[in-house]
Amino acid sequence: MVIYLIMKNIYINPLFYIVSLIMLATGFFKPFLFMIIYLIIHEIGHITIAYILGYRVVKINVFPCGLLTIFNMKINDPIFKDFLIAIAGPLFQIISYHFIKKYYFIHLFLIIFNLIPIYPLDGSKIISFFLYLFFPYKKCNNILFYLSFILCIFIIIYFCFNFNLIYILVFITLFIRVIEFYRNRNYLFNSFIMERLLYDFNFVFVKRINNINNMYKERSHYIDGEGEREYIKKYLNYDV
């Protein structure tokens, strides 16, 4: 079942082909092969835990030095589930290395790379887990964007001065995803509040706020003294 999920709905980013050709042309076929093996094992970790938690694969994107699996998760689903799925990839890869024991540098690089807090790497999901505990959803996304943007710029500049074409291409790909994340911020927020209207989420905590932009994940709200759903209906001009 897991192998079937991996093979279904795969999109390969064009830069992946460029990086692959560079690696093969420079005689790094075997290291590149083991990098692919580690990446697949890493992603199997995400998919396996997501499947256990009741989620299914919608799409798998293949990028240079990484895969990104999209699951049928709701934005308002419990944040610990996203956290568990995020850490499962590195954990599966670490466990697998004790059996493969090949190309430690590649294995270590992929672990460190995926834990960088740049959207949409695993590190961004792990840091988002802690951000969501203390800040509103919209503010968390803004913090994540600026952090990702700044890190991408600094890393790209660093590898331009210490010229490494592979790393430059990898982080340019990430930078494009960060910009897409910024452009979609309003859509994400509207989806976040629309889910509150369409689905019944049983949140334990209730928080009073005076602005819809200050809504938190995993908390229901009273907004300006009005129930959350009623306020959202007026905000979206939603007639139900």
Round to whole Å and give the CA distance between 183 and 192.
Answer: 16
Round to whole Å and give the CA distance between 152 and 61.
Answer: 20
In 3D space, the residue among 43, 52, 34 whose CA is nearest the CA of residue 91 turns out to be 43
Cis, bond preceding 14 (omega within 30 deg of 0): no
Cβ-in-10-Å burial (0-12, 13-18, 19+) of 183 comes to exposed
The number of beta carbons lying within 10 Å of the beta carbon of residue 6 is 17
* Per-residue tokens: 54: 């009741």
Q: Convert the pLDDT of each residue in 158-168 to its tens digit.
A: 988 887 777 88
Beta-strand runs (E) in the chain: 10-12, 57-63, 66-71, 205-209, 219-223, 226-227
Beta bridge partners of 11: 61
List, in order, residues 6 or more apart from 122 with CB less than 8 Å away. 86, 87, 89, 90, 114, 115
For the whole model, what pTM was predicted? Answer: 0.86
Residues 47 and 95 sit within 8 Å (Cβ to Cβ)? no
Task: Report the SS3 class of residue 57.
Answer: strand
Q: Convert the pLDDT of each residue in 170-211 to its tens digit.
A: 888 899 999 999 999 999 999 999 999 888 888 888 999 988
Q: Which amino acid is at 105?
A: F
State residue 23's pLDDT score. 74
Cα→Cα distances 7→22, 46, 208, 217, Å: 25, 15, 46, 33
* Per-residue tokens: 73: 């998760």
List the Cα angle 91/92/96 in 5-degree steps. 120
Residue-wise pLDDT tens for the chain (240 aa)? 555 545 557 878 777 777 778 777 777 778 888 888 999 999 999 999 999 999 998 888 887 667 888 899 999 999 999 999 999 999 999 999 888 888 888 889 899 999 999 999 999 999 999 999 999 999 999 999 999 999 999 999 998 888 777 788 888 889 999 999 999 999 999 999 999 988 888 888 899 998 899 999 999 999 888 888 888 888 887 554
Cis, bond preceding 31 (omega within 30 deg of 0): no
